[in-house]
Structures are given as structure tokens and as C-alpha cells.
Structure 1
Amino acid sequence: MLFLIILLVIICIALALFVLIQNPKGGGLATGGSGSNMFGVQRTGDVLEKGTWILLALVVVVTLSITTIAKSGSAGSGASSKIQQQLDNSVAPPPIGNMAPANTPPATSDTTKK
């Protein structure tokens, strides 16, 4: 599961870089002053856009895989089961102030003086 988390972080960083490198749809380098597309900016934009969609799909798949593994408890379940056992075996603390329930009469005290 740790491998999947590290993989997810790497994919997210790559996705952020792909998004930051892309030109905005309103223009940017793709609408340069010349009529010719000398450097192939449009083709680069297509590759970056497809790469963004692929990385996005990988983020979804890896995230769902991590969620499925975590819910099934197949990886790392030993530590969580020990914690759950300790919680189940612990005794609940007494109520704050040690107050008696309202339906019990107050305790009688010895009023005789010596």
C-alpha cells in the first residue's frame, strides 16, 4: 500500500507539471504572431492534453485501489487490529464529577452531635 501511495504522489506531481506547462485555451504560444506553425506548438499541446487525461485516469485508478485495499484490510491490518483490541478491552472512565443519577435519593448523613 505504501508503494501505491508513493506512486500516487509521483503521478500527482507529474499531473501538476503537465497542467502548468500547457498553454491556455485562449491563446498563449499557440496563437503566435506568425502564420506558420514553425515549432509544432499545436502538436505539443495535443500531446500534453492527452498526457493530462492519462495521468488523471491513473490518479483515479490508483486512488480507488488504495481505498479498496484500505477497506479490505489486507495490508497493514495487524496494527489496526491491535489498536481495536486495546479499545475494546479498555474500561470506560467514570462520569465527570462522580454525580449520582437524578432518581436516587441523596445519601443520609449522621446528624447526631457528640
Structure 2
Amino acid sequence: MLTTMTVLIALVCVLLMGAVLIQNPKGGGVDSTFGGTQANQMFGAAKSTDFIEKATWYLAIALFVLCIVTSMMVGGTEGAIEQLQSQ
């Protein structure tokens, strides 16, 4: 289960990096390099911007939640300290 959570965290991180790089900050960005003009023509400029912004927020929230859940699954420092003291 821990391996699955780690893979999910890695996947969300890669998707979040892509979403951040695709965004169009103040008139120019990396999105035009990777075919952003076709996306603007297909979705419309406002809709693609809204979609990317929402996707960025959802991915950031998902990363936060996955990290918290994974840290709870692993256990805190208290469990590690208790294990060391019992040895």
C-alpha cells in the first residue's frame, strides 16, 4: 500500500509540474512552446486558462492530502522512537 501511495504522489508531482509550466503568466509562457496556441483555439483562451488553473489547484490539494495520508500510514516519529527504545 505504501508503494502505491508513493507512486501516486510521484504521478501527481509530474502532473502538477506540467500544469504549472503550461500556464500563461502575463502574456507569455512555456505553453506556446508546447502547442498552447492549438489548445487556445480548441478550448478558447478563457476556458483553457480556467481549466489549467483549476487543475493546478486540484493537483496541489491532492498532493497535500496524499502526503499527509502517507505520513500517517508510515507512522510518526513517536513510533520510531519507541521502536528504538525497545531494542
Q: Work out whether the TM-score is over 0.5.
A: yes
Give the 3-state SS of the residue equivalent to 1:28 in structure 2.
coil
Residue 55 of structure 1 pairs with residue 59 of structure 2? yes
Q: TM-score, with normalisation over the residues of structure 1?
A: 0.53
1:28 maps to what in 2?
Answer: 28
Residues 1-114 of structure 1 mapped to structure 2, 5 A cutoff = 1-24=2-25, 26-28=26-28, 39=41, 40-71=44-75, 84=84, 88=87
Q: Which runs of 5+ in 1 are unaligned?
A: 30-37, 73-79, 89-114
Structure 1 runs of 4+ aligned residues shifted over 4 Å read none
Q: Equivalents in 2 of 1:43, 1:27: separation in Å?
A: 16
Q: Which runs of 5+ in 2 are unaligned?
A: 30-39
Q: TM-score, with normalisation over the residues of structure 2?
A: 0.69
Q: Equivalents in 1 of 2:49, 2:28: separation in Å?
A: 11
Q: How many equivalent residue pairs?
A: 70
Per residue, is there more helix in 1 or in 2? Answer: 2
Larger Rg: 1
Letter aligned with residue 10 of structure 2: V
Q: Percent identity?
A: 29
Q: Equivalents in 2 of 1:57, 1:70: separation in Å?
A: 20
